[in-house]
Amino acid sequence: MSPEFELIDTRDELDHVLEHFAPRGRTAVVMTMGALHEGHAALVRAARAHVGRKGYVLVTVFVNPLQFGAGEDLDRYPRTLEADLKTAERAGADAVFAPSVAEVYPGGEPQVRISAGPMGERLEGASRPGHFDGMLTVVAKLLHLTRPDVAFFGQKDAQQLALIRRMARDLNFPAEIVGVPTVREPDGLALSSRNRYLSPGERRTALALSAALFAARDRLAAQAALRARAATLPASESRAEALSKLGESRAAADAHAVAAAGPGGADAVRAAARAVLDEAAKRNPPLALDYLALVDPADFTEVPDDHTGEAILAVAAKVGTTRLIDNLPLTFGAPA
């Protein structure tokens, strides 16, 4: 590590650093649970680009026990601080704040916590009760401790990001919350610290998560193209029937599709994704689906078939003993 790069262990050290070094410019924080990979590095690079050379970029590394439920992987969650320091420095961080559990929770588990509310009970919250309360509690504490102008979070954890934004708005946190697009491996798998738990066979099955999202995206694009054609062609049912009588089955099918093209199509997008996941459930090893949901980004409730505007297609599944999540933002009603 360079002489300028710092590892900070305590709140007192953090206060000293923020008082003497951070005032030179804007401060950005990237909150992590360690086991840093290229996705985290992308967050750090985005933070550095945002605050510039004169700004201060702080990475936090803290495995928060409050957001792990019974039977989850708190004990085996990877802890790779030495490697994390190198990754953070290479990506452009000025320091890493890696406090102990006793430093963050000096009186033991806090009796007063942040409640995630109704949005925190859906999808991930339903599968992992209390998870989002624990996550928001530590994010609130770290925002107070690090006092950033801006905080960066990955869009792979879309529900987490939405809840952090809602907390910042509802409780008047001054920090700007910025989301950074999901970073994927060349084969499409979203980068995650848990990917290291996958065997080669499990990893092949896990590719179904991103494949399902991409199939849904392609189905939405096809629907948009049909709607665009329907707006410009005389695509009547009578034309389709005439083509059928002439034996032009492919042309007739296309004409029927164009004639039927209309607004909406969320159900078809869901079906395209589910078809991929259903096939993955038959593999060895199989994919065990937790949920597939097409939701409104504002509150993570399911969107209707005729939805227009922004949506998030989210999926969670287990492969072996490893639970993975992924998502993709989609726009309904966008021009083809």
- Residues with active-site annotation: 40
Residue 272: phi, psi to the nearest 5? Answer: -65, -40
Of the candidates 156, 132, 130, 178, the residue with the CA atom closest to the CA atom of residue 315: 156
> How far is Cα 159 from Cα 268, in angstroms, rounded to an integer?
23
Residue 155: phi, psi to the nearest 5? Answer: -75, -10
To the nearest 10°, report the CA torsion of 150, 151, 157, 158: -20
The string of DSSP letters for 231-284 reads TTS---HHHHHHHHHTT-HHHHHHHHHHHH--S--HHHHHHHHHHHHHHHTTSS
**Pairing mode, strands 309-319 and 287-295:** antiparallel
Kindly report whether the peptide bond that precedes residue 106 is cis, defined as omega within 30 degrees of 0.
no
Please write down the HEC assignment for all residues of 183-234.
CECCCCCECCHHHHHCCHHHHHHHHHHHHHHHHHHHHHHHHHHHHHHHCCCC
* C-beta separation of 328 from 313 below 8 A: yes
* C-beta separation of 331 from 130 below 8 A: no
Helix (H, G, I), strand (E, B) or coil at 291: strand
Of the candidates 77, 65, 72, the residue with the CA atom closest to the CA atom of residue 103: 65
* C-beta separation of 223 from 252 below 8 A: no
Q: If you ran DSSP here, which 8-state letter would residue 156 be given?
A: T
Hey, CA dihedral for 278, 279, 281, 287, is it positive or negative? negative
